[in-house]
Amino acid sequence: MSRSAHPAGPRHADVYPEGHYTAPAADLNVLDEKVWARTVRRDDDGVVSVGGIEVSRLAEEFGTPAYFLDESDFRARCRAWADAFGPDADVFYAGKAFLSRAVVRWLQEEGLNLDVCSGGELTTALDAGMPAERIAFHGNNKSVEEIERAVRVGVGRIVLDSFQEIVRVAHIAQSMGRRQRVQIRVTVGVEAHTHEFIATAHEDQKFGIALADGQAAEAVRRALRLDGIELIGIHSHIGSQIFDMAGFEVSARRVVQLLAEVRDEHGVELPEIDLGGGLGIAYTSEDDPSEPHQIAKALNEIVSRECEAHGLATPRISVEPGRAIVGPTAFTLYEVGTIKPLEGLRTYVSVDGGMSDNIRTALYDAEYSVALVSRASDAEPMLVRVVGKHCESGDIVVRDAFLPADLAPGDLIAVPATGAYCRSMASNYNHSLRPPVVAVNDGRARVIVRRETEEDLLRLDVG
C-alpha cells in the first residue's frame, strides 16, 4: 500500500525512490502524540523522556535495545476500556500481545480479566495471582494437559474451537467431576485485514466453527447435550488491527442470529457473547483509531438492536483487546550503529536489534514510525530504512521513514507503538538476546522482564 510516491520538497523529489512514505513532518523533533505513549515528551534540552526519565539515562542504566513501557498509560487504557464497557460487560486483556507478571497485577488492580492461549500464559497469570475465574482459555489445539490444568484450576471459561474439542473438554471435565463453563468460537464469514474487511471463505482457516452450513448450530446442539460442560455463550474474533466497525457489526449481527436460532431450537437463551479483540492502533500519523468509549457504544448499540429485533434479552458482552491496550504504551529504544547512504535510494540505518525484537515488519509488512530521541536536530530530513543486525536482508524494523541528516553512530532512536506483539514474538535469531521490558512510571523505572544473557542461551543448550 503505497501512500505517496514522493515526499514534498523539490530538493528531494528527484532523488527519493517510490516507497511507503508520506512527506516528512514539518519538524522532525515534534513527537506525534497519537503514536507515542502518553508521558513521552521532548524536554527543553531536546532529549526525550518517558515517565519523567530521559531516554539517555534509561539507555545508560538498562542498555539497548530495550522496550520501555509507560505504566500509567497502560493502566489508563485498562481503565478506559473497563469504564467504557461498564459493570454489565467484561473486558479480557489478550495476553498474547504482551504478558508478564507485572502486567497481570496491573490488570487485576484495574479490574480487567485475562485471555490466555497457552499453558505458559496460564502459568504466568496464575503465578501473579490472577483469580482463575477471571481467565478465559483460548486456542485451536489445546493439549489434554492444558485442558486438564485449566479445568482443575477453575478457569472462568474455555473457548471451544472445534467439534473434537467440545467432546474432549466435556470428557475431561466430567472425569474430574467438574462442569466447565465454555463458549463456542464461531467464524462469522468476515475477515478483517487492517483497514478493510472482506468476505472470506470461512472454511479456509484454522480457527473456530463456521456459522455457515449450520456447523455452529450443530456444535451448540452437541455441547448442550454434554454434562461436563456448561455452554455460556458464543465467541467471535474477526481479525486484527481493524479500524472499521463494520466488520464487528456483521459479526455481532450473525452471532445474535445464532443466539436466536438456539433459543428457537432448544428454548435456551445463551447469556453471553464475546466479540473478541482486534481494534487497531496508530503506528504512524496516518492511522486514526477509535476510542474505547466509541467502540463500546457502537458494539452495545448493534447488539441491543439485533437482540430486540429477535426478541432476545441482551446478553452480557465481553471483548478481548490486546494491542489496543498495550501497543501504544511502549517504544523500543535502539542505538544507531552503521549508517550506509545509498546514492539515489535511501540511507540504511543499522540498529543494535532488529527482526529478533520486532518481527512484525518482516512478517506483516507492518509500518512503524521512528524518531531521534537523544537530542533534537535541525538538520534536513533524510529518507531512511531502519534495519537490524541480523544476517538477513529482510531484517527491517522501519521500512521508510525520515530522520535528521546529521544522524550519527551512538545516537538513540526510538520506534513507538511496539508494546504489542514485539516482545511476545521476539526470538533468539542469530543467538541474539531478547531485550528487557522496563516499566517507567512517575520518575521510576524498573525491569519487569529482564534482558536475556548469554548464560541463558547456554543453559538451554545442554550440549
CB contact at 8 A, 436 and 449: yes
Whichever of 248 and 421 has its CB closer to ligand LLP, that residue is 421
CB of 242 to ligand LLP, least distance (A): 8
CB of 394 to ligand LLP, least distance (A): 16
Beta bridge partners of 335: 412
The number of C-alpha atoms within 13 Å of 26 and in the hemisphere containing its C-beta is: 0
DSSP 354-404: -TTT--HHHHH------EE-SS---SPEEEEEEE-SSSSTT-EEEEEEEEE
Q: Does 94 bind ligand LLP (CB under 6 A)?
A: yes
Q: Does 156 bind ligand LLP (CB under 6 A)?
A: no
Q: Which stretch binds ligand LLP (CB under 6 A): 276-284, 328-336, 378-386, 426-434?
A: 276-284
Among 19, 24, 278, 353, binds ligand LLP (CB under 6 A): 278
Among 240, 329, 374, 418, binds ligand LLP (CB under 6 A): 240
Q: Does 157 bind ligand LLP (CB under 6 A)?
A: no
Distance in angstroms (rounded) separating the CA atoms of residues 29 and 116: 39
The beta-carbon contacts of 399-403 under 8 Å, at least 24 apart in sequence, are 399/19, 399/20, 399/361, 399/365, 399/367, 400/19, 400/20, 400/21, 400/346, 401/21, 401/368, 401/369, 401/370, 402/7, 402/21, 402/24, 402/25, 402/28, 403/28, 403/349, 403/370, 403/371, 403/372
Whichever of 141 and 364 has its CB closer to ligand LLP, that residue is 364
| Burial bucket for residue 126 (CB in 10 Å: 0-12, 13-18, 19+) | middle
Distance in angstroms (rounded) separating the CA atoms of residues 51 and 66: 16
Q: Which stretch binds ligand LLP (CB under 6 A): 198-206, 318-326, 379-387, 388-396?
A: 318-326
CB contact at 8 A, 158 and 137: yes
CB of 185 to ligand LLP, least distance (A): 7
Q: Does 277 bind ligand LLP (CB under 6 A)?
A: yes
The C-alpha cell at 61 is: 542504566
Q: Which stretch binds ligand LLP (CB under 6 A): 208-216, 274-282, 332-340, 397-405?
A: 274-282
The DSSP H or E segment spanning 115 is: strand 113-116
Q: Does 361 bind ligand LLP (CB under 6 A)?
A: no
Q: Which stretch binds ligand LLP (CB under 6 A): 89-97, 104-112, 328-336, 443-451?
A: 89-97
SS3 194: coil
Distance in angstroms (rounded) separating the CA atoms of residues 97 and 323: 6
CB of 321 to ligand LLP, least distance (A): 5
Alpha helical stretches, state H, 226-382:
246-266, 292-310, 323-326, 360-364
Q: Does 321 bind ligand LLP (CB under 6 A)?
A: yes
Beta bridge partners of 235: 185, 274
CB of 280 to ligand LLP, least distance (A): 8
Tell me, by CB under 6 A, how many residues bind ligand LLP. 21
391 is catalytic: yes
CB of 169 to ligand LLP, least distance (A): 16
Among 323, 346, 385, 399, binds ligand LLP (CB under 6 A): 323
Whichever of 366 and 383 has its CB closer to ligand LLP, that residue is 366
Distance in angstroms (rounded) separating the CA atoms of residues 153 and 215: 30
Whichever of 53 and 114 has its CB closer to ligand LLP, that residue is 114
Side chain identity, residue 331: F
Q: Does 138 bind ligand LLP (CB under 6 A)?
A: yes
Residues numbered 69-88 forming contacts with ligand LLP, rule: CB under 6 A: none
Whichever of 77 and 346 has its CB closer to ligand LLP, that residue is 77
Distance in angstroms (rounded) separating the CA atoms of residues 118 and 431: 25
Neighbours of 392 (CB within 10 A): 13
Q: Cell match 543486525: residue?
A: 389
Catalytic residue among 78, 117, 391, 422, which?
391
Q: Between 383 and 422, how does the x/- string for binding to ligand LLP read (CB under 6 A)?
A: -------------------------------------xx-
Torsion of CA 64, 381, 42, 448, to 10 degrees: -20
Q: Which stretch binds ligand LLP (CB under 6 A): 75-83, 245-253, 265-273, 317-325?
A: 317-325
Q: Does 315 bind ligand LLP (CB under 6 A)?
A: no
For the chain, what is the radius of gyration of the CA atoms?
24
Whichever of 335 and 395 has its CB closer to ligand LLP, that residue is 395
Q: Does 165 bind ligand LLP (CB under 6 A)?
A: no
Active site residues: 391
Binding residues vs ligand LLP (CB under 6 A): 94, 96-97, 115, 138, 237, 240-241, 276-279, 320-324, 360, 364, 420-421
